[in-house]
C-alpha cells in the first residue's frame, strides 16, 4: 500500500486496506496478479473520498469533483457493482471490496460464475455478505442474459417520481418511443434509486449515443455522448450526488460564459 502523504490523510489510507488474500477464483485468476490489480485500483479509488474533498475542496476549475463514479464511469457494469456495494455502507469501507471484486471478476460472465464462498469472504468486512453475494451474482447473471441496451427500458416503481412505473407491467419491456418512464438497467437485481441516479449522471448519455456504444460482455462504454443533458434532470436523494450535481451545474455555467 502507498504511504500516506501527510498525517491528514492517515485515516483515509488506514481505512482502505485490501482484504487478506482470498481463495482462488472459479475462473482461475492468478492470485498474485489479481492482488496487484486490486492494489492499483484501490490506489486510484483513494483519490475520491469525502475526506479528500474536505481536505481539498473541489472548485469550478477542478477536472473532477472527487466521486468514485467519475473514475469508473467508462464501464457501466463496474458502476452498477459499485452502486450495489455502496448501499448501507460508507465508501471508505467499500473501496477495498470493490477493488478486489473488479480485479477478480471484471465482467458479468466471470462474476456470474464466481464462487459464492469467495464472494462472501471478500464482502465480509461490509456486513450482509450473504445477501450481497447472492445479489451480485444474480445481477451479473441477468446482465449476461439481457445486457443493458438503449432500445430496452424497464420500470422502477416510484422512480424518479412517486407513482412512476405503476402503468408498466413488471416484466414489460419499453421500446425507445414509449413515453412512459423506464430505465435501461432497472431490470438488474440490486439496482435501486442510488444506482439509477449514478447511471443517469455518469453513463446514460453515453449508452444512448449509438447502438454500438456498449460492449454487452464487459459493460465498457466505447462511444461518448454527443449530447450532455441527462445529468441535468437528476434530483438525487444521496447527499454526495446532490453536491456533485450542484458543482457540475456551476462548472457548466462558468464554461458557457467563457464560450
Task: Print the SS3 string covering the chain.
Answer: CCCCCCHHHHHHHHCCCCCCCCCCCCCCCCHHHHHHHHHHHHHHHCCCCHHHHHHCCCCCCCCCCCCHHHHHCCEHHHHHHHHHHHCCCCHHHHHHHHHHHHHHCCCHHHHHCCCHHHHHHHHHHHCCHHHHHHHHHHHHHHHHHCCCECCEEECCCCCCCCCCCCCCCCCCCECCCCCCCCECCCCCCCCCHHHHHHHHHHCHHHHCCCCCCECCCCCEECCCCCCCCHHHHCCCCCHHHHHHHHHHHHHHHHHHHHC
Count CB-CB contacts under 10 A for residue 156: 21
Residue 164 lies in a domain: no
Residue 66 lies in a domain: yes
As a whole number, the mean pLDDT across the chain is 82
CA distances (Å), origin 211, targets 8, 208, 214, 217, 224: 46, 7, 8, 15, 12
What is the tally of structural domains in the chain?
1
Residue 161 lies in a domain: no
* pLDDT band at 38; cut points 50, 70, 90: confident
What does the pLDDT look like over 58-85, one tens digit per residue? 776 677 888 999 999 999 999 999 999 9
What does the pLDDT look like over 120-160, one tens digit per residue? 999 999 888 999 999 999 999 999 999 999 999 999 999 99
Residue 195 lies in a domain: yes
Which three cell numbers, joined as nine digits, stand for 219? Answer: 459493460
User: Using CA atoms, how far apart are residues 120 and 187, in angstroms rounded to an integer?
Assistant: 24
**Closest C-alpha to 73, from 190, 211, 244:** 244
What does the pLDDT look like over 222-252, one tens digit per residue? 877 666 789 999 999 999 999 999 999 988 8
Q: Is 155:172 a contact under the CB 8 Å cutoff? A: yes
Count CB-CB contacts under 10 A for residue 243: 17
Higher pLDDT, 89 or 117: 117
Listed in sequence order, the residues at least 6 apart from 241 whose beta carbon sits closer than 8 Å to its beta carbon are: 67, 194, 197, 198, 201, 234
Q: Give the pLDDT score at 258.
A: 56
What does the pLDDT look like over 150-185, one tens digit per residue? 999 999 999 999 999 999 999 999 998 899 999 999
pLDDT at 112 over 70: yes
What does the pLDDT look like over 91-111, one tens digit per residue? 678 899 999 999 999 999 999
Residue 160 lies in a domain: no
Domain encompassing residue 68? 7-149+184-258
- Domain containing 253 — which CATH number? 1.10.340.30
User: Using CA atoms, how far apart are residues 68 and 95, in angstroms rounded to an integer?
Assistant: 9
Higher pLDDT, 4 or 47: 47
Q: Give the pLDDT score at 226.
A: 66
Residue 200 lies in a domain: yes
Residue 129 lies in a domain: yes
* pLDDT band at 39; cut points 50, 70, 90: confident
Residue 73 lies in a domain: yes
Amino acid at each position: 500500500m502507498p504511504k500516506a502523504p501527510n498525517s491528514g490523510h492517515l485515516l483515509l489510507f488506514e481505512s482502505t486496506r485490501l482484504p487478506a488474500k482470498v481463495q482462488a477464483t472459479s475462473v482461475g485468476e492468478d492470485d498474485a496478479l489479481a492482488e496487484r490489480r486490486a492494489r492499483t485500483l484501490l490506489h486510484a479509488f483513494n483519490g475520491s473520498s469525502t475526506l479528500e474533498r474536505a481536505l481539498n475542496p473541489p472548485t469550478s476549475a477542478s477536472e473532477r469533483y472527487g466521486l468514485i463514479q467519475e473514475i469508473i464511469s467508462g464501464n457501466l457494469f463496474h458502476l452498477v457493482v459499485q452502486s450495489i456495494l455502496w448501499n448501507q455502507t460508507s465508501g471508505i469501507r467499500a473501496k477495498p471490496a470493490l477493488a478486489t471484486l473488479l480485479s477478480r471478476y471484471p465482467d458479468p460472465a466471470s462474476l456470474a460464475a464466481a464462487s459464492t464462498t469467495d464472494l462472501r469472504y471478500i464482502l465480509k468486512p461490509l456486513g450482509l455478505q450473504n445477501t450481497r453475494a447472492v445479489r451480485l451474482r444474480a445481477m451479473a447473471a441477468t446482465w449476461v442474459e439481457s445486457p443493458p441496451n438503449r432500445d430496452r427500458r424497464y420500470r422502477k416503481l416510484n422512480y424518479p417520481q412517486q407513482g412512476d412505473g405503476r402503468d408498466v407491467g413488471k416484466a414489460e419491456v419499453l421500446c425507445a418511443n414509449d413515453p412512459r418512464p423506464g430505465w435501461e438497467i432497472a431490470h438488474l437485481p440490486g439496482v435501486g434509486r442510488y444506482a439509477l441516479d449514478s447511471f443517469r449522471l455518469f453513463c446514460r448519455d453515453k449508452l444512448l449515443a449509438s447502438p454500438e456504444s456498449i460492449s454487452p460482455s464487459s459493460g465498457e462504454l466505447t462511444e461518448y455522448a454527443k449530447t450532455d443533458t441527462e445529468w441535468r434532470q437528476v434530483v438525487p436523494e444521496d447527499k454526495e450526488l446532490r453536491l456533485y450535481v450542484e458543482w457540475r451545474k456551476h462548472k457548466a455555467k462558468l464554461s458557457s460564459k467563457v464560450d
